[in-house]
Structure formats: C-alpha cells, structure tokens
Amino acid sequence: MAEQRLYHRVAEEIRQLIDEGVFPPGTRLPGERELAERFDVSRVTIREAEIALQAVGHIEIKTGSGVYVSEDQPLQPGQLPEVSAFEVTEARSLIEAEAAALAAKIISDENLKKLDDLIETMGNSDEETSLAADREFHAMIARSSGNGAMVHAIESLWRMREELPEVKHSYDAVCEEDAAARAKEHQAILSALKARNPDAARHAMREHFLRLIGSMLDASEQEALRAVQKRALESRERFLDVARMG
C-alpha cells in the first residue's frame, strides 16, 4: 500500500509545492527535463504527473512554452466546506422544511404512494437499506417541490452528511436508537403532505430535524462526558504512578 504509482507521488509533491506557494499562481514551473532530474524520475513520469494535474485544473500546459500554475487555484468544484453536524442539520431543517411546504401544494399521488412504501421499508430492513430509504424519502420530497435548485441544495447537504467524517460520525451516533421517533416523524410529514397542507408540512419537517439536533447535542454531551472521565482516569493513574514512585 506504501507504493502508489510513481507519477501519482510526483503529482502530489508538485501540488504541495504549489499550495505552499513555491510556485505561485500564474508562474511557470521548471521544464520537464529539469523536473525529471530534480525528482530523479524519467521525463515520461513528469509528463504523466503534469497530465494528471492538468486534468484536475491545477496547471495549464502550453506547447513549446511551458506549464503554468492556474490562476484561480482554489477552483475545486464540488468541494464540501468544513462544517459541523449541527450546522448541516440546522440547514436541513430550514431548507427541507421549505421544500416540503412547496411540495405539499403540488406533490402527485404517485409520489405519495412511494413515500408510503419508503416508510415501510425503513421500518423492517437492515440498517443499510433503511438508511438508503431515509435518503430516498427526503430526496423524493425535495424533487416533489418542483424546484431543481432546492433539490441541488438538499443533495449537497446530504453529501455533507455522508462524506464529512465528523458529520457522518455524529449522525451515525444518533441514527440507530431513535428509530421509533424517526418513524413517527416521517409519518407526520407524510400526513401533512397528503393533506396538501404546506404549513403543516413545514412544521413537521422542522420538528423532525429539531429532535435530531437535540439528540445530537445529547450524544455529543455524553461523548464529551466520556472524554472527561477518560482524562480524569488517566490523570488519576498518572498521579498514582507518581505517588507510587515517590
């Protein structure tokens, strides 16, 4: 596992040099031949590294001239910001609530039926399937809002929930135990949608996430408590060690 492809290692080093400001944006970096000598690899490898970097937009290669560092360096489309689970959930509570309100007015009977099925799936399935159904439940409501921009925002929030380690950890910590409460809330949301009641849908969705935020705060509190206890235990042992030595 230690050895990746050579060009990959070289590309990573060059990228680091760019990040560190050794090669500021707009500047021209050394020729392939010189880089090959510096990294002690062949010219082909340097070229492969440069191609990989170019494919991601870090540099621009100009034939006969040289390779240049891209001006807008931090252009990293699709990059997720570093946010806390609390922020993600607060944003979801606000945004998905509005999406639900929009959806209440125009959702089709067909989609209502699918939501019904998804709730059932969440009830009696293994954890993985249940999670997928949960996602689909919220995604379906988002799509039913008829607003692609809202759908995009909500999908982005879900990506944060799944791809940011800290956020994922927080969610996983609370998502198991309160399956009962969750099912009840989902049912409430669906009922509001069936009643074509935007305000009720908004409220139900907010309540859903509000409870989630509460659980997260509890969980993180308990975790913090455990950490404190662990530290206390460690310092106690350290103290005992010292006492023993003395």
Which residues between 9 and 48 bind a copy of itself (CB under 8 A)? 44, 47-48
Kindly state whether residue 59 participates in binding a copy of itself, applying the rule CB under 8 A: no
Question: Please, what is the minimum distance in Å from the beta carbon of residue 36 to DNA?
Answer: 7
> 137 or 158, CB closer to a copy of itself?
158
User: Which CB atom, from 21 or from 81, has the smaller least distance to a copy of itself?
Assistant: 81
195 is an interface residue for a copy of itself by CB under 8 A: no
Contact call for residue 94 and a copy of itself (CB under 8 A): yes
DSSP per-residue letters across 148-165: HHHHHHHHHHHHHHHHSH
At residue 151, φ and ψ (nearest 5 deg) are -55, -45
Query: Contact, 174 vs 130, CB < 8 A?
Result: no
Q: Which among DNA, a copy of itself, none contacts residue 36 (Cβ within 5 to 8 A by kind)?
A: DNA
Q: How far is the CB of 51 from DNA (least distance, A)?
A: 8
Task: Report d(CA 53, CA 72) in Å as an integer.
Answer: 14
The two tokens of residue 118 are: 């998804």
**Contacting residues toward DNA, per CB under 7 A:** 3, 5-7, 31-33, 36, 40-45, 47-48, 50, 61-67
Q: How many of the other CB atoms lie within 10 Å of CB of 26? A: 10
Residue 139: CB atoms within 10 A of its CB come to 15
Q: How many chain residues are in contact with a copy of itself, going by CB under 8 A?
A: 41
| Whole-Å CA distances, 177 to 145, 173, 180, 208, 212 | 30, 8, 8, 15, 11
Q: Locate tokens 């949960």: which residue? A: 134
Q: How far is the CB of 48 from a copy of itself (least distance, A)?
A: 5
Contact pattern from residue 135 through residue 174 relative to a copy of itself, giving x for each residue in contact according to CB under 8 A and a dash for the rest: ------------xxxxxxx--xx-xx--------------
Q: Ramachandran region of residue 21, left (φ > 0), alpha (ψ -120 to 50) or beta?
A: left
Distance in Å, CB of 1 to DNA, minimum: 10
52 binds a copy of itself (CB under 8 A): yes
Residue among 223, 138, 211 nearest 175 (CA): 211
Q: Which residues bind a copy of itself (CB under 8 A)?
A: 5, 7, 44, 47-48, 51-52, 54-56, 61, 63, 76-84, 87-88, 90-92, 94-95, 98, 102, 147-153, 156-157, 159-160
